[in-house]
Structure 1
Amino acid sequence: MGEPLPYVYRWNRQDRKGQPCELLIRGKTMNSCLVRFADGYTMVTSRNAIMKNKALAERSTE
């Protein structure tokens, strides 16, 4: 995982607020997803808890 991760975790669950993560699996029925953080930790959470990584978006427009 050397490349920047495309999402940022927004909620303060398990002290992960503001940490970059990647979306592994997306569920439809309950709006859930499986995310993995840079340290390898994975969790199932709401898709409302993640947002696009703005720093990564700004870098790609330059």
Structure 2
Amino acid sequence: MVALPYIYRWNRQGRKGQPCEVLIRAKVMNSCLVRFADGYTMVTSRNALMKNKEADQC
């Protein structure tokens, strides 16, 4: 399994601490489309993401 490069930091929709990947980045309102390991997608602020340190080690 490929490690997902980001961790979701905010407590929105019960997703805090879950790994995710960015599908689309937008400059408008600093937003992005993210997908979680279970396939769930959402539009959120890029401020809600942090690098996944475990994915960097792979």
The TM tier, using the shorter chain, reads over 0.9
What per-residue deviation string (whole Å, max 9, x for no partner) do you get for residues 16-56 of structure 1?
A: 00000000000102100000000000000000000110112
User: Moved runs in structure 1, 4+ residues, more than 2 A?
Assistant: none
Supply the AA of the counterpart residue of 1:55. Answer: E
Aligned residues: 58
TM-score by length of 2: 0.94
Partner Cα distance (1:23, 1:29) in 2: 15
Instruction: Report what 2:6 is aligned to.
Output: 7
Match of 1:34 in 2: 33
Structure 1 alignment gaps of length 5 or more: none
The one-letter amino acid of 1:38's match is: A
Unpaired segments ≥5 residues, structure 2: none
TM-score normalized with structure 1 length: 0.88
Q: Once the two structures are aligned, what percentage of the paired residues are identical?
A: 76
